[in-house]
Structure 1
Amino acid sequence: MNRREFLQVLAIASAAGMAFPTRDAQAAQAAARLYDVPRFGNVHLLHFTDCHAQLLPVHFREPSVNLGIGDYAGKPPHLVGQALLKHYRIAPGSAEAHAFTYLDFTEAARRYGKVGGFAHLATLVKQLKASRPGALLLDGGDTWQGSATALWTRGQDMVDAALALGVDAMTPHWEMTLGAERVREVVDRDFKGKVAFLAQNVKTKDFEDPVFEAYTLREMNGVPVAIIGQAFPYTPIANPGYLVPDWTFGIQEENLQRIIDEARAKGAQAVVLLSHNGMDVDVKLASRVRGLDAILGGHTHDGVPAPVRVRNAGGTTLVTNAGSNGKFLGVLDFDVRGGKVADFRYRLLPVFADYLPADPAMDVLIRKVRAPYEQKLGEVLAVNKELLYRRGNFNGTFDQLILDGLMDVQGAEIAFSPGFRWGTTLLPGEGITMEKLMDQTAITYPYTTVTQMSGETIKTVLEDVADNLFNPDPYYQQGGDMVRVGGLQYTIDPAAPMGKRITEMRLKGKPIEAGKTYKVAGWAPVAEEARHNGGPPIWDLMAGWLRQRKEVAAAPLNLPSVKGMGGNPGMAA
């Protein structure tokens, strides 16, 4: 089926309301037009990232707070809502407006339906590959973690799905939380000869030997193309180091430049970095190394409609980020002439499940891997009364629900929940199933904790996380959002110096005292001792708490008072 036939099938089926469960024929036709992406040039790269093991279509709300600080204020990816629409000239109320922003989320979600799903993504990938000879499918990582089935199968469901999808190369982050032994098992057994697992910045601690291939060199339509891998640089800090005890990470700028030069010396006429750095880190990196034509980025879950062009000593590098949860597929076409990239086209395509038919073979695979777990996944723990989401710099309603449960069950005054950016969205009235709870909590270190913390320690924790998020130098940012806080109120000035961002901490209206001790509940500790003395997994604690309630609604969002960010386009008014 060629591109024209593919689009005709989408339009006819959508208008007829026969092939897809469309809610609005006009909306369906508009969404179908998104997939009219004519072939351009002779080098073709398809890119998805941060799907977090979501095999089925989901709802995923984009943030209303994504602040940029210093030189990054007001620049992509730090644009939300109307500011993003205006910057990229996206029509309000359109399918793309729903995909890229949080605006009118519940209404728009009911109109346009769910996004992602590997069976629907497979249909789009196959069509684009059919019109682009030799196209490579690149996976930016965070693929084997984020769902119940991925946790229970140790990522095997996603490994099998990636192979069926036709992934050509990938780079990792959360994959490492399955442990070094498991990662090596997949790379050496399942991926061998099929998927290039790339990470130029992962080395052994003892002799600094490369652990994985740094890059792969492929010929496409007569053009040598190099794909270099960049794993998440701060894996042993942001996640438990004991899971990868013998490996080092880091940005490895000098080594990256050496690899780029080596690939060019071997004849590469287009060189691309498949990165899991996070977009601000990629922008800085692009300004400091020469010879990269593009960085296809991930980690920070930013859906960025157009590349950022970054100047450096060697020319210009395009920097992109392709969102999360299987919600988008990036399409980068290069026209390579005279041994170098002469021009390009880029589209970040939302994957609307209602408007892309499910690929039959992938659909069968998904049903097969889920079958043993369907009953457990489908248990309705409680009915949700409001929009439940996670994404945002400071808090989300699903995070608030977890905080409420932690404080209630643990009898704590304060609760901390990690600022994870993964986790799907539930519309009002949907049942909170075990599967949806696991979408928020499925990690290999899920232990709950109760800790006696001094007021001084609480401030130190908040300051450390704030610096990780808001340090003006991206190389000191480690991804994720601000730790979610229950019970405690505070004020934050993101632009203040390190150690001076957090002020006015209060508990039930009274100032937090530096020398006083407070009972703090939490989960997901990175310290190894938690494996032995931590409490029950967070999903067990929350499932029990939810089962006691027929309906739930999180308490009003416990948000900090934010100073100095008035007018910042990364924060909704």
Structure 2
Amino acid sequence: MNRREFAQMLGLGVVAGISLPLLNGCGRKSAAAAGDFYNLPRFGNVHFMHMTDAHAQLMPIYYREPSVNIGVHGARNQSPHIVGEAFLQAYGLPADSRIAHALTYLDFNEAAAQYGRVGGFAHLATLVKQVRASRPGSLLLDGGDLWQGSATSLWTKGQDMVDASKALGIDIMTGHWEFTLGADRVMEIIENDLDGHIEFLAHNVKDFDFGDAIFASHTMREMNGVPVAIIGQAFPYTPIANPGHFTPGWTFGIQERELQETINKVRSQGAQVVVLLSHNGADVDIKLASRLSGLDAIMGGHTHDAIPQAIQVKNSAGGQTLVTNAGSNGKFLGVLDFDVQAGKIKQWHYRLLPVFANLLPADPEMTALIDRVRAPYLDKLNTTLATTEGLLYRRGNFNGSFDQLIVDALMETKDAEIAFSPGFRWGTSLLPGDTITVEDLMSQVAITYPQTTVNEFTGERIKFILEDVADNLFNPDPYYQQGGDMVRVGGLDYTINPNADSGNRISGMSLNGNPVEAGKTYKVAGWAPVAEGVEGEPIWDVVGNWLASKKTVPLLEPKQPRIVGLKDNLGLV
């Protein structure tokens, strides 16, 4: 890394409210060393590291940030709903830089080839150890979606990630996709594997019949003489967004009143710093922060937003609550420091560190663990299915090229007119010319309910499905948003107005140039049914066999709806 790159990366610290000297008085030679960027001088006496939405990605990956992340109503043109050049301008970040590549989709192919892969637990472990060495007593928090998202996590029922997260030194976590392993498996891991290593917190998961807590709501720790409390909030809509039969008898929800009661409780017990470890999604966290008192920070996840500067939200007591979100896929590590004196927070610093695999040496112990857990599966993981001529990615409000690949495979294989694929935000990226392996495919489809389906839907039913998902995404009240993206659609064209009222956002549906008729029936393929007992060929077999038959995937242009009703929206290029 040259001096220009180093200065650009240091600039990320400046916009995050950090005043750093030229790291430890480094001269020209040492300032050019790659590791200097990660040499963060200690600040304060209370320290949190935060990661979220790793989605079981143990290895370094490519991950393209969205070019479409639309904010509506109060969220319009507000972080995190800003993309591309507008994002760089909002945070004062230099274009054509490592930071621009980490945080935006801009020139992704060229920048990825130049700057290399991101994440990987072996590289993340090195960074965690460096930060922890400078911050005695610091806690590493994980915001959930840790045990799901890869082939090996699926095949080992999350055990590979449990072992890796313990080795990484995660102290506290909450959950979402973890629950798709089933309640019995989740409790087995917590009772047999996490005990004494990682605390699993979720104040908002209760027994349906009796209201008893399923998990601990919070934990109290003392850090450098300062009492701190961490409260856990699991994804509120787990039984709706995912199959409810995986967690029978459990209720979720935001539970704002109960959360305030827990905050009051830990304050009465002497907590001088209170942090919510959340899997709500950024917009929900921002609203929640405004309605609570006594909460110093929300370290959030679920929506995969990489926000380089903590959002300062005026809370119900007239003070401020910080809201952060640390991206996904092990690509970032957030570091939040508080300076607490005489029981009060005097100052705080926050920074979001991108994990560049070629700037951080792989930790030997973590490397050995990863090699060991992957060894039994390497031949299958490395099986080549096809080669891609274009960039394959998922993230975005409406569609991604890997999603387009999936719906194309479904329509052709199932002889369907239309295909639906869930608006999942997880899934890695592939560069033009890359081979598509079984491991790459599984990073898009590794779930515990992989069945493919074929249904006969009327045009009226199709519109209802699109309207329902659009309301989850664009409802003006964040508490009614579930944080996913729009269902990916193959074959079907439509128009969407994100600002319209519920039930009136979708119009102009057509198929092959012909209007979709409300009373006419259409053959629709899909996958990931939330209903219990659905049978069907697993999605990885359908898409895997289709890829093997194609050998080469041409450049794919994701089918996007016609978007209307937006003007000067910085979340849309």
Matched, 1:484 2:488: yes
Q: Residue in 2 aligned with 1:323? A: 327
Alignment of 1:295-334 (within 5 A): 295-314=298-317, 315-334=319-338
Give the letter aligned to residue 261 of structure 1.
N
Q: Which of 122, 125, 130 is residue 122 of structure 1 equivalent to? A: 125
Deviation at 1:172, TM superposition (A): 0.3
Q: Residue in 1 aligned with 2:25? A: none
Number of residue pairs matched by the alignment? 546
Deviation at 1:354, TM superposition (A): 0.5
Q: Which of 383, 386, 398 is residue 387 of structure 2 equivalent to? A: 383
Contact 2:174 2:232 in 1 (8 A): yes
SS in structure 1 at match of 2:70: coil
- Name the CA distance, whole Å, in 2 between partners of 1:413 and 1:375: 36
Alignment of 1:541-552 (within 5 A): 541-552=542-553
- 1:528-556 Cα shifts (integer Å, max 9, x gaps): 131xxx21100000111111112112543
- Name the CA distance, whole Å, in 1 between partners of 2:338 and 2:221: 15
Q: Which of 457, 475, 478 is residue 479 of structure 2 equivalent to? A: 475
SS in structure 1 at match of 2:38: coil
Contact 1:395 1:558 in 2 (8 A): yes
SS in structure 1 at match of 2:550: coil
Alignment of 1:35-434 (within 5 A): 35-314=38-317, 315-434=319-438
- Name the CA distance, whole Å, in 2 between partners of 1:327 and 1:126: 16
Contact 1:40 1:335 in 2 (8 A): yes
- 1:465-502 Cα shifts (integer Å, max 9, x gaps): 00000001000001110000000000000000000000
Q: Residue in 2 aligned with 1:13? A: none
Contact 1:523 1:538 in 2 (8 A): yes
Contact 1:384 1:428 in 2 (8 A): yes
- 1:1-45 Cα shifts (integer Å, max 9, x gaps): xxxxxx9xxxxxxxxxxxxxxxxxx9x948644323211000000
Give the letter aligned to residue 287 of structure 1.
S
Unaligned 5+ residue runs, structure 2?
Answer: 1-5, 7-28
SS in structure 2 at match of 1:556: coil
Alignment of 1:529-540 (within 5 A): 529-530=533-534, 534-540=535-541
RMSD: 1.5
SS in structure 2 at match of 1:390: coil
- Name the CA distance, whole Å, in 1 between partners of 2:304 and 2:489: 22
Give the letter aligned to residue 170 of structure 2.
V
Distance 1:299 1:29, change over 3 A: farther
Give the letter aligned to residue 569 of structure 1.
L
Contact 1:30 1:95 in 2 (8 A): no
Give the letter aligned to residue 539 of structure 1.
W
Contact 1:398 1:554 in 2 (8 A): no
Deviation at 1:340, TM superposition (A): 1.9
Contact 1:271 1:294 in 2 (8 A): yes
Identity %: 65
Give the letter aligned to residue 496 of structure 1.
A
- Name the CA distance, whole Å, in 1 between partners of 2:250 and 2:554: 43
Contact 2:238 2:244 in 1 (8 A): yes
- Name the CA distance, whole Å, in 2 between partners of 1:36 and 1:187: 34
- Name the CA distance, whole Å, in 1 between partners of 2:294 and 2:38: 31
- Name the CA distance, whole Å, in 2 between partners of 1:212 and 1:317: 25
SS in structure 1 at match of 2:295: coil
Contact 2:39 2:130 in 1 (8 A): no
Q: Residue in 2 aligned with 1:557? A: 558
Give the letter aligned to residue 46 of structure 2.
V
Give the letter aligned to residue 157 of structure 1.
D
SS in structure 2 at match of 1:329: strand
- 1:141-161 Cα shifts (integer Å, max 9, x gaps): 000000000000000000000
Of the structure 1 ranges 56-65 and 554-563, higher mean CA displacement relative to structure 2 is found in 554-563
- Name the CA distance, whole Å, in 2 between partners of 1:295 and 1:279: 10
Of the structure 1 ranges 168-177 and 335-344, higher mean CA displacement relative to structure 2 is found in 335-344
User: What TM-score comes out, normalization by structure 2 length?
Assistant: 0.94
Q: Residue in 2 aligned with 1:526? A: 530
Alignment of 1:497-512 (within 5 A): 497-512=501-516
- Name the CA distance, whole Å, in 2 between partners of 1:303 and 1:374: 31
Distance 1:238 1:29, change over 3 A: farther
Unaligned 5+ residue runs, structure 1?
Answer: 1-6, 8-25
- 1:311-356 Cα shifts (integer Å, max 9, x gaps): 0122110000000000000000000112121110000000000010
Matched, 1:441 2:461: no
- Name the CA distance, whole Å, in 1 between partners of 2:114 and 2:34: 11
Give the letter aligned to residue 107 of structure 2.
D
- Name the CA distance, whole Å, in 2 between partners of 1:103 and 1:247: 42
User: What TM-score comes out, normalization by structure 1 length?
Assistant: 0.94
SS in structure 2 at match of 1:264: helix
Give the letter aligned to residue 396 of structure 1.
G
- Name the CA distance, whole Å, in 2 between partners of 1:239 and 1:29: 47
Of the structure 1 ranges 311-320 and 120-129, higher mean CA displacement relative to structure 2 is found in 311-320
